[in-house]
Amino acid sequence: MDNGRISVRYARALFQLAQEQNCEEAVYDGLARFAHNYLLAIAQFNEVLANPIVGQEEKVKLVEMAVGEPMHECLKQFIAFVAEQKREDKIFLIAMKYMEMYRAKHNILSTNVTTATKLPESTYDDIKAFVKKTFNADAEMDVHIDPSLIGGFILDIENMRMDASVAGQLNALKNKLK
């Protein structure tokens, strides 16, 4: 069975369990923290979770540490179940699928904002309002600072990009002049 089907099946099972136990948001928050921490140390996580010499308990503890606190009991039990099934190397894919299902159900768009400098909080609120008005969805926003943009911002919403940066405008002008 391929990784995609495995992760979808486990994510669906977790999503259904979380709905039944009314802990969808708590599980989502925990998996979002896990995904963030996983991406920060992806090589080490992959090495440990795929290593058959590392015991199941150690793998569970590692994943739980990456989730952090607070962790709902539902998620804790699910992590232990995944480890018992020897699928701990799929936990990141399962987390991504669960988060995708949660966002779809709750009409949330994953949004990245890249700016040259930190913007006032009111500007981020304006961007969220724009997303709400334009796409009729809430924005889950990640903010990144990239001084190379010179000014302005880049807004990535799911698979769409709006580049309103000075660097982007300069590149467009340069390409036009070629």
pLDDT digits (tens, 9 = 90+) for 107-156: 999 999 999 999 899 999 999 999 999 999 999 999 999 999 998 889 99
Residue 94 near residue 82, CB atoms below 8 Å: yes
**Into how many domains does the chain fold?**
2
Residue whose C-alpha is closest to residue 170's, from 116, 111, 113, 118: 116
Residues 75, 23 share a domain:
yes
- Chain centroid to CA 132: how far? 20
Residues 118, 74 share a domain:
no
Range of the structural domain that residue 153 is part of: 108-177
Residues 121, 91 share a domain:
no
Residues 95, 33 share a domain:
yes
Residues 96, 56 share a domain:
yes
Residues 130, 45 share a domain:
no
Phi, psi of 25, deg, nearest 5: -65, -40
Which of 89, 104, 119 is the last residue in one of the domains? 104
SS3 category, 139: strand
| Cα angle value 134/95/163 (rounded, 5°) | 35
Q: What is the pLDDT of residue 2?
A: 66
Q: Report the alpha-carbon distance of residue 134 to residue 54 in Å, rounded.
A: 48
Residues 36, 100 share a domain:
yes
CATH classification at residue 54: 1.10.520.20
DSSP notation for 45-68: HHHHHH-TTS-HHHHHHHHHHHH-
Using CB atoms within 10 Å of the CB of residue 133, give its burial: 0 to 12 exposed, 13 to 18 middle, 19+ buried: exposed
Residues 129, 48 share a domain:
no
Taking only the tens of pLDDT, the chain with its 178 residues reads: 566 788 999 999 999 999 999 999 999 999 999 998 888 788 788 888 888 899 999 999 989 999 999 999 999 999 999 999 999 889 999 999 999 999 999 999 999 999 999 989 999 999 999 999 999 999 999 999 999 999 888 999 988 999 988 888 888 888 888 8
Residues 119, 99 share a domain:
no
Residues 130, 76 share a domain:
no
